[in-house]
Amino acid sequence: MTEDLQFDKDGRLHHFLSIEGLKRETIVEILDTAESFISVGEREIKKVPLLRGKTVVNLFFESSTRTRTTFEIAAKRLSADVINLNPSVSSTKKGETVLDTIDNLEAMHTDLFVVRHINSGAAHLIANHLPRHVRLINAGDGRHSHPTQAMLDAFTIRRYKKDFAGLKVAIVGDILHSRVARSLIHALNILGVPEVRVVAPKTLLPTAVEQLGVHPFHNMYEGLEDVDVVVMLRLQRERMEGALIPSEQEYFRVYGLTEEKLSVAKDDAIVMHPGPMNRGLEIDSAVADGPRAVILPQVTNGIAVRMAIMALIMGGNVQRERKGKE
């Protein structure tokens, strides 16, 4: 179902809902296209005309700072008209359904929706409801998927490590509740990363997590030994039911990333974090601000990656635009 919704009959991206169902060639096309957009942010005039005349609506039913802002910047750099809405404090709070909200906005000639929702599957529900000429990007749905975050993380890894072959990647923290982890695991497996590890207490790992194509660890020193990339996750306390950790202090002692724990990784290992980052809980400030952290470049890269995804699903002729600038 996801694959049918995500692709046109000719195999081109139509919606961007999930990493599942994507082929390696599609992911590489996104990463390559994003590479061509990196330089746009370095120009005096940070604009390309690919989406001129198009209307993009950022529809965030769940709060966000980085994702919503980078989507807004990305759309504006593509010359689209951008509307930002928080329907959770307006239409839906007054009793309007999600699909009625979508219908009203589509009636205003919206071309592309960027949707974040607290419920898993919401993006698929909306995409299935939209007329075929309107496109949708999933900006995160419940605990299910956050595909553009996975793409910007993969893009960041490729910029620092060049090739995915031979890499060891450790994802540390609240795997159970993390749509970021789920999407990134799928992306890394598709891209051919030979070893993806998840490091967490048993209470924060999904049942039968090995079926996702990962190697689980409960000890930080063992999980980080000789890895090339460390991806830290925040504790998603808003999604937790019951006490899944003894205390925040104990969690940091055992699973917080410190320079001492990082010392068992490779000397050139990079440290990533999708944000928001909780210093002193999942990561120590000395690491977050240290030379191996690439957390702020992740944010910068997110703009180029989201530009690439928007351009590709909207049918923008990226190659023609690139040639015109050469």
Active-site residue numbers? 66-67, 94, 116, 146
Q: Which amino acid is at 284?
A: D
Distance from C-alpha of 195 to C-alpha of 248, rounded to nearest angstrom? 29
Give the residue from 182, 192, 186, 195 showing the smallest Cα distance to 229.
Answer: 195
What does residue 129 show for φ and ψ, rounded to 5 degrees?
Answer: -90, -25
Distance from C-alpha of 152 to C-alpha of 306, rounded to nearest angstrom? 8
Cα-to-chain-centroid distance, residue 25:
18
Task: Specify the DSSP class assigned to residue 40.
Answer: G
Cα-to-chain-centroid distance, residue 128:
22
Residue 79 burial (C-beta neighbours within 10 Å; 0-12, 13-18, 19+): middle
Distance from C-alpha of 105 to C-alpha of 86, rounded to nearest angstrom? 13
Distance from C-alpha of 237 to C-alpha of 281, rounded to nearest angstrom? 12
What is the length of the chain?
Answer: 326
Give the residue from 213, 173, 211, 169 showing the smallest Cα distance to 189.
Answer: 213
Give the residue from 201, 196, 210 showing the smallest Cα distance to 235.
Answer: 201
Distance from C-alpha of 153 to C-alpha of 298, rounded to nearest angstrom? 7
CB 35 within 8 A of CB 304: yes
Distance from C-alpha of 156 to C-alpha of 228, rounded to nearest angstrom? 13
> Which residues pair with residue 112 across a beta bridge?
56, 135
Give residue 80's region: left, alpha or beta (phi > 0; psi -120 to 50): beta
Largest Cα–Cα separation, the chain: 58
